[in-house]
Amino acid sequence: MKFDMDYIAHNNELTEFNPYVKLFLTIILLIVTLALDNLYFDVFIFVVMSIVILAIAKINFRSYFKFLTIPMAFLVITCIFLLFFFGKGEVIYETGIFGIVVTDDSFHYAVYTFMRVLGCLPILGFLALTTPISKILHCLRTLKVPKVMIEIALLMYNVIFIFLNEIDTMQKAQNSRLGYHSYWTSFKSLGALVSTIFLRSLDKSETLQFALDSRGYTGELPVYEPRKKEN
């Protein structure tokens, strides 16, 4: 099943729920989670918000899991670097490789970073998976967020999914040519994928600029505004 966040945001039990309430709830929970810096609260908020997403919004578990996969991968890599290369203090574990050790400070940094981000992920997922981007941007506009920030967010959202689609297409092409049937071919295919997506990104950015210019782009992108209900 292909992950389509935009489709999920338009088709769940909380789509029509007031977007301002969801936005403010997300901001408040993020501030509280970061301010408390409590491991037990991080676990609590992760469980509660996951229940809201899965049981109340009724979003498919596999879709929610895929949403968490990419940021969790970056989080694990970041925490590994924090664990082995940052912090001072008493050594609690020696790897025996080039003097790399784990100290009490680095262990503290790694654990607390992991748990704080883990607590924040479902909060952001609650907003992203239950609210279409058009409604989020409209809320930000009515709250007088600078236009340039809204436009950057819109372009980033658009480009990210274009590239995800490109990556999916290229991976399917590589799989059809047995590009991942061994470790060596997997590394080779991954290298080709990264280099190709870099070149595609340059080409897509130029194409996007041409598309905007051809449609009379003057430095401001229109943002969706919901139709006002007539009494």
- Average pLDDT over all residues of the chain: 82
Q: Write the single-letter amino acid at 137.
A: L
pLDDT at 1 over 50: no
pTM over 0.85: no
Query: Which residues, including other chains, have CB under 8 Å from residue 135's CB and lie 6 or more apart?
Result: 19, 224, 226
Could you give the 3-state DSSP secondary structure of residue 145? coil
Distance CA 26, CA 131 (A): 12
Distance CA 19, CA 113 (A): 29
Beta-carbon count within 10 A of 223 CB: 15
Q: What percent of the chain has pLDDT over 90?
A: 19
Under the banding of pLDDT at 50, 70 and 90, the label for residue 45 is: very high
pLDDT at 109 over 80: yes
Tell me the per-residue pLDDT of 115-158, one tens digit each, with 9 for 90 and over: 999 999 999 999 989 998 888 888 888 888 888 888 888 878 77
